[in-house]
Amino acid sequence: MSRSNLTKWLYVGLHIKRWLLVLLIGVVIMGLGFAYLLREVYASFTFPTWVGTVTLQFIPRWIRGLLFISVASGITVYGAWRLNRSIVSAVLPLGQQDQLFEQIYTNRTQGRGPKIVAIGGGTGLSMLLRGLKQYTSNLTAVVTVADDGGSSGLLRRDMHVIPPGDIRNCIAALADAEPLVTKLFQYRFGEHAGEGIAGHSFGNLFIVAMSEVTGNMEIAIRETSRVLAVRGAILPSTLEDITLVATLEDGRTVRGESVIPHAGSPVSSVAIEPADAHVNPEVVRALLDADLIVIGPGSLYTSVMPNLLVRGLGEALLRSHAHKVYISNVATQHGETDGYNAADHYAAIRRHFGRDDIAQVVLANSNLPAEPLPGEWQSTPVLAPGDVDYGGARLVLADLVAPDHRYRHDSERLAAAVMRQYYERDLRVYAEAIASPGAPRT
């Protein structure tokens, strides 16, 4: 704790000032007790002349009182500062001692933040979570378990566990651990690692190993989150083994999340097998208790939709009184959403739900690149026309893209735009009520 950070301990909401006040009251009462004892000593004994000089009796009593109070205050502050510095140096590594205030302030303020549930998967969800954790620690990430490709697919087939890939990404995004630990968690073994381990992510192996140790994937996720100081909770949408099935516009049916983008025909609809796979009960509790529910961003048919198709999850989403925001992708995904605009993305969700009143806001990117995206990406920016139907939802445009990745969301900009919609929701309802005199007031 440096001198420059000393005054920050008086900020509102840290639960520090009250205990400082208790300490001060204790010191004052103790000082009053010493004063009574000294008064008795002065009345009972006769002291040499030099004692009067040493105790400054040639100065008026009120000046002596202020002088002693000032000296005592300085000694108390200095002693408290040195004590805290001694304790902190034993607890925190060198170079991180000045971060103690930021950690306490973050934990205290974000613990009172809104309860947010984010539904999705892939890099889009982890990007959103990385930004939202700066506003609240009451975060719940609901991730898909339909992934069947790459390291997650291999572990799913060989170890008969739910795929850990999206769970790993969310843990890394919400972790408050050392950057090196987070980097290790995301490390992927190359071909030099040899057959059997090449292509696997260290985090995936860690989570699966933790599930073997604990005997349960849910406990494994919680314990892994605890080890990495995750700010929030990560919940699989279902604990059952599901497969994503897509019906294509050419009439074919393909099975498998990793196969759908390469099927060679636009997607008409998707479903999960088994169709009666039940939702994780913790997800239902989180949705019904949420203040804000965010759907997306992420691959529409292979990351976002598999969550919404789980039996019980969609019903809980619709029953929840939370403010709901759908985040449109900033770029189309080849083989999945070619040619889609923001309205098309949201319409696909409404079509699968069979109703329009899903979200109050559709959040889309307004910062379109001046030049087309590289041809090898086979992707185009997602436009957000304002003259089409959004099923009663309100279209909101904002600059959401990262300056160095125009096809990807920026975590800070995206989180700021989402939180702005949440904090302005009541003001907007009131403004609409004022603009419609005949509408009922609440």
CATH number of 388's domain: 3.40.50.10680
Over residues 60-72, mean pLDDT: 86
Residue ending a domain, choose from 183, 206, 229: 229
Give the domain-ending residue among 229, 258, 291: 229
Contact in structure between 362 and 376 (CB atoms under 8 Å)? no
pLDDT of residue 355 exceeding 80: yes
> Is 441 part of any domain?
no
pLDDT of residue 385: 93
Question: 61 or 437, which is more confident?
Answer: 61
E-strand ranges in 89-232 read 116-120, 139-143
- Tell me what the mean pLDDT of segment 370-376 comes to: 73
Task: Name which residue leads in pLDDT, 112 or 37.
Answer: 37
| Structural domain that includes position 32 | 3-107
* Residue where a domain terminates, one of 229, 247, 275: 229
395 pLDDT band (50/70/90 cuts)?
very high
- 412/286 same-domain check: yes
Any domain includes 28: yes
Mean pLDDT, all residues of the chain: 85
Backbone angles phi, psi at 426, to 5 degrees: -70, -40
Q: Is the residue at 54 inside a domain? A: yes
What percent of the chain is predicted at pLDDT more than 70?
86
**Total-model pTM:** 0.78
pLDDT greater than 70 at residue 174: yes
Distance CA 410, CA 362 (A): 17
Q: Are residues 288 and 223 in the same domain?
A: no
Q: Is residue 76 part of a domain?
A: yes
pLDDT of 337 above 50: yes
Cβ atoms within 10 A of the Cβ of 299, count? 23
Same domain, 157 and 275: no
442: in domain: no
45-49, 195-199, 285-289, range with greatest mean pLDDT: 285-289
Q: How many CB atoms lie within 10 A of CB 246?
A: 25
Residues 321 and 195 in one domain: no
Say whether both 58 and 126 belong to one domain.
no
Query: How many domains, the chain?
Result: 3
Give pLDDT tens digits for 148-158.
Answer: 888 888 888 88
Residues 377 and 248 in one domain: yes
Is residue 440 included in any domain, yes or no?
A: no
pLDDT tens-digit map of 302-313: 999 999 999 999
Give mean pLDDT, residues 74-91. 76
Q: Does 35 map to a domain?
A: yes
Query: What share of the chain in percent tops pLDDT 90?
Result: 46
User: Does residue 227 register a pLDDT over 90?
Assistant: no
248 and 298, same domain (yes or no):
yes
For residues 243 and 225, membership in a common domain is answered with no
pLDDT at 442 over 50: no
- At 340 the pLDDT is 95
Q: Is residue 30 part of a domain?
A: yes
- Domain match, 102 and 129 both: no
Average pLDDT over residues 334-347: 93
The reply to whether 269 and 369 lie within a common domain is yes
Backbone angles phi, psi at 71, to 5 degrees: -65, -45
CB 81, CB 251: distance < 8 Å: no
Across residues 79-90, what is the average pLDDT? Answer: 74
Range among 63-77, 85-99, 318-332, 374-388 with highest mean pLDDT value: 318-332
Which among 176-180, 242-246, 399-403 has the top mean pLDDT?
Answer: 242-246
From 326, 342, 334, 414, select the one nearest 382 (Cα to Cα). Answer: 342
> Are both 195 and 156 inside the same structural domain?
yes
Q: Is the pLDDT of residue 141 over 50?
A: yes
Residues 189 and 313 in one domain: no
Over residues 229-285, the pLDDT tens digits come to: 888 999 999 999 999 999 999 999 999 999 998 898 999 999 999 999 999 999 999
* pLDDT attached to residue 408: 85
pLDDT at 367 over 60: yes
Q: Please report how the helices 202-214 and 150-159 are oriented relative to each other, as an axis angle in degrees rounded to 10.
A: 20
Q: Measured in Å, how far apart are the chain's first and last C-alpha atoms?
A: 48
What is the pLDDT at residue 91? 62
